[in-house]
């Protein structure tokens, strides 16, 4: 089995074009990871996910520990076999979901005790327990257990939260089972404070991880402030390790973050939006529920190879969404995930060619144009 590694093939400014090698194969970067929270990318088969060009997907510790249970997944051969995904899998540690979904949670130095949002049962999640669950799931990339600092938070609150996450990062590293092809990522916290982000990076790099994530963003701070945090945080991260911006984001967020040196992304937007009829295109977003599409025989995008664009009209997709037919969200989701994969593939090509600035400028110009005129 090959060792876990990250190789940079090309650079353009701060941006990198690379490959992450894992126990279950490679992932080319910049990479967008479709979110398969509970062991499935909603409204898509694994074969359809792979057909979009996606090489790595995300699963979630919190959801899978509650249902169907990490021990059951392990007995059934691990998450790859369980969900029929042969490529790499990254698992979120569960910390964000505990804070955002769980009921009656109690945070201590040891970890978090909480009641399940599903059935009210009590559970405790600690760094050690999170590492155990992710090992049982057979995640290629395990995330350190952390507390996602809320926004807004004053400096003292952000400091206390960051320092707790760094102590948990040390415990996560100690509890992680080193195996060929598997890696553990540390998560930079510190809110929107440059001094705290710097201290967090120093703590994590002194521990040592196979990759580094920037957490605590995309929580309401807005794009301008998010980019400011990336501007002073990303340059501090090791050059030879992958950099992952958690929970991001909109297409223009991804382009801007790649320009700042980020390699990996995940977000529920393409799948969640697809289920409600919001479509991402190179000319911005489309709301398929709008009446303007009811008699439109044209595809969503002329140059998109996805089944929704290749085989169906806007009128038909509008009908499916308005009628509540299951096929509507399936086709819309497939298109959106393929759009995100086309987006990152284009960024990889632009970095290799040394023309990222021009590519990004053209993307922003097209994306701001809005949808094609109505018939």
**Active-site residue set:** 92, 266
User: Which bin fits 2, alpha (ψ -120 to 50), beta or left (φ > 0)?
Assistant: beta
Residue count of the chain: 375
What angle, 0 to 180 degrees and rounded to 10, lies between the N-to-C axes of helices 127-137 and 155-175? 50
Which residues, 6+ apart, have CB-to-CB distance to 362 below 8 Å?
none
| Measured distance CA(78)–CA(71) in Å, rounded | 9
Cβ atoms 271, 298 nearer than 8 A: no
| Pick from 146, 141, 197: nearest CA to 171 | 146
Q: Give the strand pairing for 278-281 and 284-287.
A: antiparallel
Query: 285-303 b/e with 16+ CB inside 10 Å = b?
Result: ebebeeeebeebeebbbee
Q: What are phi and psi of 134, to 5 degrees?
A: -65, -30
DSSP one-letter string for 113-168: EEE-TTT--EEEE-HHHHHHHHHHHT-SEEEPP-----SS--HHHHHHHHHHHHHH
345: enclosing H helix or E strand = helix 327-353
User: Per DSSP, what are the bridge partners of residue 7?
Assistant: 19
**Count of alpha carbons within 13 angstroms of residue 100, beta-carbon side:** 12
367: enclosing H helix or E strand = helix 356-367
């Amino acid at each position: 089995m090959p060792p876990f590694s990250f190789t940079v093939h090309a650079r353009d400014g701060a941006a990198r074009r690379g490959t992450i090698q894992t126990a279950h194969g490679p992932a080319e970067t910049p990479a967008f990871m479709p979110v398969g929270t509970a062991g499935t990318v909603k409204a898509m088969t694994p074969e359809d996910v792979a057909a979009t060009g996606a090489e790595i997907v995300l699963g979630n510790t919190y959801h899978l520990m509650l249902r169907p249970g990490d021990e059951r997944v392990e007995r059934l051969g691990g998450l790859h076999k369980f969900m029929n995904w042969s490529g790499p899998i990254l698992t979120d540690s569960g910390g964000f979901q505990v804070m955002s979904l769980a009921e009656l949670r109690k945070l201590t130095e040891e970890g978090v005790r909480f009641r399940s949002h599903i059935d009210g049962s009590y559970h405790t999640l600690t760094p050690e327990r999170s590492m155990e669950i992710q090992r049982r799931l057979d995640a290629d990339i395990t995330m350190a257990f952390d507390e996602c600092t809320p926004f807004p938070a004053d400096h003292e609150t952000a400091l206390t939260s960051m320092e707790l996450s760094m102590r948990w990062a040390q415990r996560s590293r100690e509890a992680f089972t080193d195996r060929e092809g598997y890696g553990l990522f540390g998560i930079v916290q510190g809110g929107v404070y440059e001094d705290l982000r710097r201290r967090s990076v120093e703590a994590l790099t002194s521990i040592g991880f196979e990759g580094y994530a920037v957490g605590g963003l995309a929580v309401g701070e807005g794009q301008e402030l998010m980019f400011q945090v990336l501007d002073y945080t990303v340059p501090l991260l090791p050059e030879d390790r992958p950099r992952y911006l958690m929970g991001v984001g909109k297409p223009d967020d991804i382009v801007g973050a790649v320009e700042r040196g980020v390699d990996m992304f995940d977000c529920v937007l393409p799948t969640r939006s697809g289920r409600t009829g919001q479509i991402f295109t190179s000319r911005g977003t489309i709301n398929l529920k709008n009446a303007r599409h009811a008699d439109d025989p044209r595809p969503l995008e002329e140059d998109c190879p996805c089944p929704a664009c290749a085989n169906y009209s806007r009128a038909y997709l509008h009908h499916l969404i308005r009628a509540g037919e299951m096929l509507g969200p399936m086709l819309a989701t497939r298109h959106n995930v393929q759009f995100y994969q086309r987006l990152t593939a284009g960024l990889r090509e632009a970095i290799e060619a040394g023309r990222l600035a021009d590519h990004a400028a053209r993307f922003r110009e097209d994306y701001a144009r809005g949808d094609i005129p109505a018939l």
